[in-house]
Amino acid sequence: MTNSFADFGKAKMIFVIGSNMTEAHPVAATFVKDAVLAGARLIVADPRRTPLVDFAERHVQHKVGSDVALLNSIMYVLISENLYNKDYVDSRCSGFKELKAKVMEYPPEKAAKICGITADAIHDLARELASVKPAMLMYTLGITEHTCGVNNVLSCANLQMLLGNVGVECGGVNPIRGQNNVQGACDMGALPNVFHGYQRVDNPENRTKFEKAWNVKDLPAKPGLMLPQMVEAVGEGKIKGFYIFGENLANTEPDIRHVEHCLKSAEFLVCQDIFPTETTKFAHVILPAAAWSENDGTFTSSERRVNRVRTAHPAPGDAKPNWWIFKEIAKRMGHVWTSNSAREIWDNEIAAFGPSMAGIKYARLENDGLQWPCPNEDHPGTFFLHKDRFASGLGKLVPVEWTPPAEVPDDEYPLVLSTGRRLYHYHTRTMTGRSGGLNDLLREERADISAEDANARGIEHGEMISVRSRRGEVVVRANVTDMIPPGLVWMAFHFREGNANWLTNPVYDPTCQTAEYKACAVQIGKLT
Amino acid sequence: MDKTTFILNGKETAFTPGQTILEAARNVGVTIPTLCHLKGSTATGACRVCLVDVKGARTLMASCSTPVTPGMEVTTNNERVLKTRKLIVELLLSSGHHDCIVCEANGNCRLQDLAYECKITELKFPRPDTCYPTESENPLIVRDFSRCILCGRCVQACNEVVVNRAITLGYRGSKSKVATGGDGSYSDGDSECVFCGQCVEVCPVGALTEKKAKGMGRPWETRKIRTTCPYCGVGCQQLLHVKDGRIAKVTAVEGAEPNQGRLCVKGRFGYDFLYSEERLKTPLIRQENGDFKEASWDEALDLVVSKFKGIIEKHGSDAVAGVSCARSINEDSYQMQKLFRAVFKSNNIDHCART
């Protein structure tokens, strides 16, 4: 996030798009609700009537996959009615001319048809957004999990820059991360193109620096494969040795049948985990790991805050800290790593060789942690990004074109399936499924459907139904709810049975390889 | 005397216009005991424990809900105040089933503390015979109405802090009760409860307690360890209450960034997976028949190394790939990418951020 959670409760105007915050990030949502009680205005754009809509002054219920059209059209209104922040755009951004040319192709009357809403709703939304400064934009996976995910994100950034809302308190572009340390895993360089601190591997200076730091030669220069490409390459036999640490790919990736075929093809698969999962079934070696609260370390949250994680008790049996396991493998291959605790790894390597985190040391993390960038030990950390100037100089406005989802409804598969998380479970339930009480609150997968679609098929609330896509079929309980507009089916991926990923479409954003979990075509029907 | 001072216990004291007597007093280190007061929510003045003597006022005033005015003369500790406070605590003690020995809140109870501070040694008033039965149908929270003093903190927290609007004060007079919509269990179909447990967090007595924490450790027996929640990306700060190598319960760290004393259902109640019998406890190697056999770390790691070495020698570094974990600590992800880059000489390292 460019900004911090502390801004949520103080914001005066909040625009939430593609985020069911009350279920996926419940504590963050409490601050949004507090802001509304204190007089803030809230606009929610989401195909579903999410619980946050109860607090919103406007709910824009646009169609799944129409975000770019909606956002471009809002910008059309802002520019054509001169409601954008001209001074900000002139002094701090580049690319306005190109952006303008593109958004002028999206008059509300045209975008309204793509979005399935009225042109007036777009006009009103744009004027409302421009009426309060600054406005804070939050999004989650509703924006990213599309074949046009990168373009969706760029559109959110375009909108906020056009309004002059980036680089200020209570403004910014704020993706709330889904997992406790997904921000940290990125920051740490568990990505194919960067070392930790986003230092590119294809930059020779960076490689030289890490060759010296790690006392090695010939660090690879070519960026590696992204996760979906890896799975595919395992299936094709190009990747022979596959090492999966703490991921249950057999349930979380789109098109389970195909993913399992790929995992089965691995010549040698290592799984390092805290529980047996659907994925460890395919392993040749399973390594037992210490879990959260069984070792010291740090997580980095959505607001770039590095927080301490502390040991409450030892790991069971012979389970070991993950960092120790990697160190032992390195040792057996002739590499002696000197850091011998999470603290030493952070202080002596991560801070030492990551300029944006150089000032973050364990000794400074005792209380509320620190937010990067934090370049030196006297730096207080950064509450919001891009103050006065963008990290890269000028903020780049990038024109983007709307594209539809890869698979859209047709006569055979007339409904859109969109997927995500529910409140009482987390991902594939490896943790929540084994925590007393949570299973009692949600025992099985459901398909959320509209009363209109249920009635048209004679489906009763609570009845077991079939949901079928071109990839597969599941039998789940129908949950008829007014959260869902006609034409949409919504499911999660918490349970093996009825997991939405038997149905989802393995198509990806061309730039970042994020899968289109939010849109594929399905049919539903009564069981015969 | 200027416009922003008042007299507190005989001393001229500064205040900020809009402050209550309680806030202005706390600001200068004068303690006024409270019970129903909940920071960040509208004062209800329900419990009367914070009464103070305001010169010229007809009665004692609740300091939590009375704004200071310039020149106001306030006394927090005269005999009238102390006597009345004691009487109020005596009435609260007699209002229900306050037997500390068997109460989950023993040692973590504002009413117990106040009774002690007021030097109360016996019950002055008879206890009512009837009350509402305990609700423990829901899987996570015990609602013992016999211990509820109707301070309303849970209602304020639910409606004004986390804004889930699941509970309210229902009925009237001696029948008053904290109720959900439909007045059933927290988990009933009519209930809006989302089990964030903020009501438990703020309950000053033993009326609301965590079901899973029962018998797991008294407050003075547990170590409190601050940590970060392992679920979503908000990074809520938790206190683990640990006894004998096991988490007894989880509460929120008051006043910490970013969660300011709040947690959600997963953060508060999703911890006991750690003690599942299904945990992986030893390395496992797959046999030719497909079964897994227990192995030592040396056997398992030697096998991983020989296989990966063999594959890299035969097919090159591009033939290996790794997926790191977005749930585990930073240092683990750092080590894994270092292993792939520095040792395997491959940039085929990623994690689930993109999926």
pLDDT tens per residue across span B45-91: 999 999 999 999 999 999 999 999 999 999 999 999 999 999 999 99
Q: How many whole angstroms separate alpha carbon A18 and alpha carbon A52?
A: 11
B139 vs A184, A323, A437: nearest CB:
A437
What's residue A43's pLDDT? 98
Q: What is the CA radius of gyration of chain B?
A: 28
Q: Please, what is the average pLDDT of chain A?
A: 97
Residue identified by tokens 């019970």 is B35
Q: Do B326 and A195 touch (CB under 8 A)?
A: no
Residues with Cβ < 8 Å from A443, sequence gap 6 or more? none
pLDDT band at A487 (very low <50, low <70, confident <90, very high): very high
Cβ-count burial of A406 within 10 angstroms (0-12 exposed, 13-18 middle, 19+ buried)?
middle
Q: How many whole angstroms separate alpha carbon A521 and alpha carbon A306?
A: 40
Q: Which residues in chain A are contacts of B333 at CB distance < 8 A?
A: 181, 184-185, 188-190
Asked if A264 is an interface residue toward chain B (Cβ–Cβ < 8 A), one would say no
Asked if A314 is an interface residue toward chain B (Cβ–Cβ < 8 A), one would say yes
Alpha-carbon dihedral of residues A163, A169, A175, A176, nearest 10 degrees?
Answer: -150
pLDDT band at B306 (very low <50, low <70, confident <90, very high): very high
Asked if A1 is an interface residue toward chain B (Cβ–Cβ < 8 A), one would say no
Residue type at position B153: R
Q: Do A247 and B278 touch (CB under 8 A)?
A: no
Count H helices, E strands: chain A? 20, 23
- Helix A322-332 with B330-338: angle, nearest 10 deg: 20
pLDDT at position B177 over 80: yes
β-strands B177-180, A241-245 pairing? unpaired
**Nearest-CA neighbor of A349 among A133, A500, A195?**
A195
Distance in Å, alpha carbon of B160 to nearest chain A alpha carbon: 7
Measured at the CA of B80, the angle between CA B77 and CA B86, to 5 degrees, comes to 80
A176 vs B196, B233, B353: nearest CB:
B233
Q: How many whole angstroms separate alpha carbon A142 and alpha carbon A21?
A: 11
Q: Do A179 and B271 touch (CB under 8 A)?
A: no
Q: Which residues in chain A are contacts of B317 at CB distance < 8 A?
A: 220
Size of interface A-B (CB pairs under 8 A): 460
Residue identified by tokens 């607001």 is A303
Residues with Cβ < 8 Å from A429, sequence gap 6 or more? A439, A494, A495
Looking at chain B, which residue has its C-alpha nearest residue A325? B301
Contacting B residues, span 285-344, partner chain A, CB-CB under 8 Å: 285-286, 292, 295, 297, 300-305, 307-309, 311-312, 315, 317-343
Residue type at position A348: N
Question: Contact at 8 Å (CB) between A98 and A400?
Answer: no
Encoded tokens for A23: 């279920």
Asked if B239 is an interface residue toward chain A (Cβ–Cβ < 8 A), one would say no
pLDDT at position A527 over 70: yes
A184 vs B231, B284, B330: nearest CB:
B330
Residue type at position A51: P
- Helix A108-115 with A67-80: angle, nearest 10 deg: 160
| pLDDT tens digits for range A304-362 | 999 999 999 999 999 999 999 999 999 999 999 999 999 999 999 999 999 999 999 99
Q: Please, what is the average pLDDT of chain B?
A: 96
Question: Contact at 8 Å (CB) between A136 and A15?
Answer: yes
A5 vs B258, B281, B348: nearest CB:
B258
pLDDT at position B2 over 80: no
Q: How many whole angstroms separate alpha carbon B213 and alpha carbon B218?
A: 9
B329 vs A181, A192, A513: nearest CB:
A181
Asked if B274 is an interface residue toward chain A (Cβ–Cβ < 8 A), one would say yes
Q: How many whole angstroms separate alpha carbon A398 and alpha carbon A401?
A: 10
Distance in Å, alpha carbon of A394 to nearest chain B alpha carbon: 26
| pLDDT tens digits for range B234-267 | 999 999 999 999 999 999 999 999 999 999 999 9
pLDDT band at B174 (very low <50, low <70, confident <90, very high): confident
| pLDDT tens digits for range A271-320 | 999 999 999 999 999 999 999 999 999 999 999 999 999 999 999 999 99
Q: How many whole angstroms separate alpha carbon A449 and alpha carbon A461?
A: 9
DSSP character string of B126-167 = PPPS--PPPB--SSSEEE-GGG-----HHHHIIIIIS----E
Residue A500 — φ and ψ, nearest 5°? -60, -25
Kindly list the structural domains of chain B, giving each domain's residue range(s) and its CATH number in brackets, ordered by start.
5-77 (3.10.20.740), 219-279 (2.20.25.90), 284-354 (no CATH)
What's residue A436's pLDDT? 94
Question: CB count, 10 Å around CB of B229?
Answer: 28
Residues A371-393, mean pLDDT to the nearest whole number: 95
Asked if A422 is an interface residue toward chain B (Cβ–Cβ < 8 A), one would say no
Q: How many whole angstroms separate alpha carbon A164 and alpha carbon A172?
A: 9
> Maximum distance among all alpha carbons in chain B?
93
- Helix A256-264 with A227-235: angle, nearest 10 deg: 60
Asked if A222 is an interface residue toward chain B (Cβ–Cβ < 8 A), one would say yes
What's residue B1's pLDDT? 58
pLDDT band at A507 (very low <50, low <70, confident <90, very high): very high
pLDDT band at B111 (very low <50, low <70, confident <90, very high): very high
DSSP classification of residue A107: -
pLDDT at position A392 over 90: no
Residues B315-330, mean pLDDT to the nearest whole number: 97
Residues B115-119, mean pLDDT to the nearest whole number: 95
Residue A230 — φ and ψ, nearest 5°? -65, -50
Kindly tell me the sign of the dihedral angle through the C-alpha atoms of A114, A117, A120, A123. negative
Residues with Cβ < 8 Å from A177, sequence gap 6 or more? A183, A301, A302, B232, B233
Share of chain A above pLDDT 70, in %: 100
A465 membership: H or E segment, kind and range: strand A464-468
Q: Do A275 and B280 touch (CB under 8 A)?
A: yes
Distance in Å, alpha carbon of A205 to nearest chain B alpha carbon: 16
B139 vs A193, A317, A440: nearest CB:
A440
Helices (H), B73-217: 79-94, 110-117, 153-156, 198-202
Encoded tokens for A320: 């070991």
Cβ-count burial of B251 within 10 angstroms (0-12 exposed, 13-18 middle, 19+ buried)?
buried
| pLDDT tens digits for range A82-131 | 999 999 999 999 999 999 999 999 999 999 999 999 999 999 999 999 99
**Per residue in A201-215, is it b (16+ CB within 10 Å) or e — as a string?**
beeeebbeebeeebe
What's residue A401's pLDDT? 98
Kindly list the structural domains of chain A, giving each domain's residue range(s) and its CATH number in brackets, ordered by start.
5-176 (3.40.228.10), 182-371 (3.40.50.740), 415-526 (2.40.40.20)
Residues with Cβ < 8 Å from B99, sequence gap 6 or more? none
Question: CB count, 10 Å around CB of A101?
Answer: 10
Looking at chain A, which residue has its C-alpha nearest residue B278? A275
Residues with Cβ < 8 Å from A290, sequence gap 6 or more? A274, A315, A319, A320, A321, A322
Q: Which residues in chain B are contacts of A436 at CB distance < 8 A?
A: 139, 212, 269, 272
Looking at chain B, which residue has its C-alpha nearest residue A214? B342
Q: Do A298 and B329 touch (CB under 8 A)?
A: yes
Share of chain B above pLDDT 70, in %: 99
Q: Which residues in chain A are contacts of B340 at CB distance < 8 A?
A: 224
Q: Do A350 and B330 touch (CB under 8 A)?
A: yes
pLDDT band at B190 (very low <50, low <70, confident <90, very high): confident
Encoded tokens for B124: 């002055």
Pick the residue of A240, A328, A357 with the most B CBs within 10 A to test the interface with B by mutation: A240
Contacting B residues, span 18-57, partner chain A, CB-CB under 8 Å: none
Q: Phi-psi category of A307—alpha, beta or left, where left has phi over 0 and alpha has psi -120 to 50?
A: beta
Pick the residue of B303, B338, B341, B345 with the most A CBs within 10 A to test the interface with A by mutation: B338
B283 vs A183, A245, A286: nearest CB:
A286
Pick the residue of B272, B333, B339 with the most A CBs within 10 A to test the interface with A by mutation: B333
Question: Contact at 8 Å (CB) between A351 and A357?
Answer: yes
Residue B6 — φ and ψ, nearest 5°? -140, 175
DSSP classification of residue B25: H
Residues B276-300, mean pLDDT to the nearest whole number: 97
